[in-house]
Amino acid sequence: MNNVEKSRRLRELILATETLVMPDAFDPISARIIESLGFKAVQCSGFSMALSSMRPTEADLGMETNLNVSRAIVNAVGLPVMADGEDGFGGPADIARTICAYVDAGLAGINLEDQILGQPGPKRIVSSEMMVEKLRNARRAAKEANNAEFVINGRTDALAVSSDRQAGLKEAAARANAYLSAGSDLAFVTAVATIDEVQFLLREVKGPITIAAGMPYNIKSLSVKALKEAGVARVSLPAVAILSAVQAMADTLRSIRDTENFAEILAKNKVCPMEDIAVLLKRE
Same domain, 277 and 185: no
Same domain, 124 and 246: no
Same domain, 224 and 267: no
Contact of 57 with 50, CB cutoff 8 Å: yes
Cα 149-22-57 angle, rounded to 5 deg: 95
* Residue 73 CB neighbour total at 10 angstroms: 28
Residue range 215-233, pLDDT digits in tens? 999 999 999 999 999 999 9
Q: What pTM value is reported for the model?
A: 0.93
* Residue 91 CB neighbour total at 10 angstroms: 13
pLDDT at residue 119, rounded to an integer = 80
CA dihedral 182, 187, 193, 197 (to 10 degrees): 70
Same domain, 205 and 279: no
Handedness of CA 212, 213, 216, 220 (dihedral sign): positive
Reported as a pLDDT band with limits 50, 70 and 90, residue 282 is: low
Query: What percent of the chain has pLDDT above 70?
Result: 94
CA dihedral 200, 204, 206, 212 (to 10 degrees): -30
Side chain identity, residue 246? V
Contact of 244 with 252, CB cutoff 8 Å: no
> Does pLDDT of 276 surpass 80?
no
User: How many domains in the chain?
Assistant: 2
Same domain, 125 and 232: yes
Same domain, 132 and 190: yes
CATH of the domain at 133: 3.20.20.60
Which is more confidently placed, 144 or 117? Answer: 144
Same domain, 134 and 35: yes
Same domain, 246 and 226: no
Contact of 38 with 21, CB cutoff 8 Å: no
Which helix H or strand E contains 28, and what residues bound it? helix 28-36
Contact of 103 with 145, CB cutoff 8 Å: yes
Handedness of CA 118, 201, 45, 95 (dihedral sign): negative
Same domain, 221 and 84: yes
Cα 201 to the center of its chain, rounded Å = 19
Strand (E) positions, 75-208? 81-84, 109-113, 151-156, 186-189
Which of 202, 218, 238 is the C-terminal boundary of a domain? Answer: 238
Query: DSSP secondary-structure letter at 164?
Result: S
Residue range 245-259, pLDDT digits in tens? 999 889 889 999 999
**Distance in angstroms (rounded) separating the CA atoms of residues 83 and 70:** 7
**Distance in angstroms (rounded) separating the CA atoms of residues 202 and 15:** 14
Same domain, 164 and 271: no
Same domain, 141 and 25: yes
pLDDT at residue 277, rounded to an integer = 66
Handedness of CA 178, 184, 185, 191 (dihedral sign): negative
Same domain, 110 and 169: yes
SS3 122: coil
Contact of 93 with 52, CB cutoff 8 Å: no
Q: Is 158 left (phi over 0), alpha (psi -120 to 50) or beta?
A: alpha
Q: What is the mean pLDDT of residues 129-135?
A: 98
Residue range 173-212, pLDDT digits in tens? 999 999 999 999 999 999 999 999 999 999 999 999 999 9
Residues 6+ apart with CB under 8 A from 8: 149
Q: Which domain range does residue 268 map to?
A: 242-284
